Amino acid sequence: MPAFDSIASQLENQAIELPSWAFGNSGTRFKVFSTPGTPRTIQEKISDAAQVNEFTGLAPKVALHIPWDKVDDYAALRRFAGDLGLALGTVNSNTFQDDAYKFGSLTHTDAAVRQKAIDHHFECIEIMHQTGSTDLKIWLADGTNYPGQGDIRGRQDRLAESLTTIYARLGDDHRLVLEYKFFEPAFYHTDVPDWGTSYAQVTALGEKASVCLDTGHHAPGTNIEFIVAQLLRLGKLGSFDFNSRFYADDDLIVGAADPFQLFRILYEVVRGGGYGPDSTVAFMLDQCHNVEDKIPGQIRSVLNVQEMTARALLVDAPALLAAQNAGDVLGANGILMDAFYTDVRPHLAAWRESRGLAGDPMAAYAASGYQARIATERVGGHQAGWGA
Ligand code: AOS
Ligand code: ZN
Ligand code: ZN
């Protein structure tokens, strides 16, 4: 197995985008617990994201959700983030909370509703010009609850037409990433339920469109790393929404439920050329912190991604290939498992310290006093989806 030192320089390439909504209060359909110090504005969310980056060096971008993060002056917001060492990242559209979208948005039978949803995406693209964001991420709640409720085929056709109109409005440096999800909020059929549908739709659009893979959006038992390998092979893996799931779209801390799965995914990312300076894959988190503090929740998340990336980089690729080609089943499996079972935490702590970062970012953040300060300074923080 390669020594840690031989892969250390590749860790410099890691950049994880934080979701603005992770810093707001969120919960289940039963209760939204509020956490002292919860941001009241997008500026406060960005300030909290800056803490994650300050203690880890891993999170230089913040993704926005429109209209949750709507402001009058996006150029000013970009400067605000820049002064904290951050860039504004992916702009997430939202066509799932207006009454008009009860029966769909980009797929709706009513052209006026489709146009409303398209106009919202035009607004997002305009915002991207001002924020310097390159990615427009579309996740649709569109779908039906009962067989016969909608014309599945007609909805695909309208989706294609709506996406084509949005795609035509993208700037030269812009990309469109289409996220899939197998169910919820629709329970019978969802209009973009799987990677194949997303792939078919974005391929019809053109080069600037690709697939967003949310790790929580698959049926239990799905081999997600296979999807990763396939999409990279096809040149259509645009971005990740990382999180963990035990049951459905749980949006828990990435790597918390199944670190081995995260390792397997990141191994295929590395294997498929999705990691490194030439990669165009965006690594985002899409998480909510319902019962734990949000900033340390995000710090833990990016550290989990870093740990599993380091382990994936440690796989002895030539030896693995040789074992595979020789039909050495257990030898090949053993080579992969050797890397997975390597505890990289002491190495990563030393690596951080060599770069002027705290060896233990969780402890350093806890000792910084920031959490106590925001708890006293901020009163009346908002729910994630309804922040200022
Ligand atoms: C929804 O399930 C998706 O994961 C989206 O990425 C969504 O925009 C995000 O969870 C924020 O609500
Ligand atoms: Zn997502
Ligand atoms: Zn989700």
Ligand 1 centroid to 381 CA: how many Å? 21
160: in domain: yes
Q: Which of 20-34, 154-168, 204-218, 331-345 has the lowest mean pLDDT?
A: 20-34
Residue 2 lies in a domain: no
Residue 282 backbone class (left: φ over 0; alpha: ψ -120 to 50; beta: rest): beta
Give the ligand at the shortest distance from the Cα of 97. 1
Phi, psi of 298 (to 5 degrees): -75, -35
Q: Is the pLDDT of residue 386 over 60?
A: no
Ligand 1 atom closest to the CA of 19, numbered from 1? 11
Ligand 1: does its nearest atom lie under 6 Å from the Cβ of 92?
yes
| ipTM summary value | 0.97
pLDDT at 388 over 80: no
Per-residue model confidence (pLDDT) at position 28: 87
Say which ligand is closest to the CA of 66. 1
- What's the confidence (pLDDT) of residue 387? 43
Which pLDDT band holds residue 34 (cuts at 50, 70, 90)?
confident
Which structural domain, as residue segments, surrounds residue 284?
13-377
The whole-number pLDDT of residue 345 equals: 98
The CATH code of the domain that includes 102 is 3.20.20.150
pLDDT at 9 over 70: yes
CA distances from 386 to 20, 66, 133, 188, 293 (A): 12, 10, 22, 28, 19
At 122-147, the pLDDT tens digits run 999 999 999 999 999 999 999 999 99
Q: Are strands 135-138 and 143-144 parallel, antiparallel or unpaired?
A: unpaired
Domain-located, residue 295:
yes
Mean pLDDT of the region 238-254: 97
**Rounded-to-integer distance, Cα 227 and Cα 212, Å:** 11
The arithmetic mean of pLDDT across residues 258-273, rounded, is 98
142 lines ligand 1 (CB under 6 A): no
Residue 382 lies in a domain: no
Residue 6 lies in a domain: no
Domain assignment of residue 42, yes or no: yes
Confidence band, pLDDT 50/70/90 cuts, at residue 321: very high
In-domain check, residue 386: no
What is the C-alpha separation between 185 and 28, in angstroms, rounded?
13
Q: Per the domain annotation, does 5 fall within a domain? A: no
Mutate to test the pocket of ligand 1, among 20, 179, 180 (most ligand atoms within 8 A of CB): 179
Can you list the positions of beta strands (E) in 101-162? 135-138, 143-144
Number of domains in the chain: 1
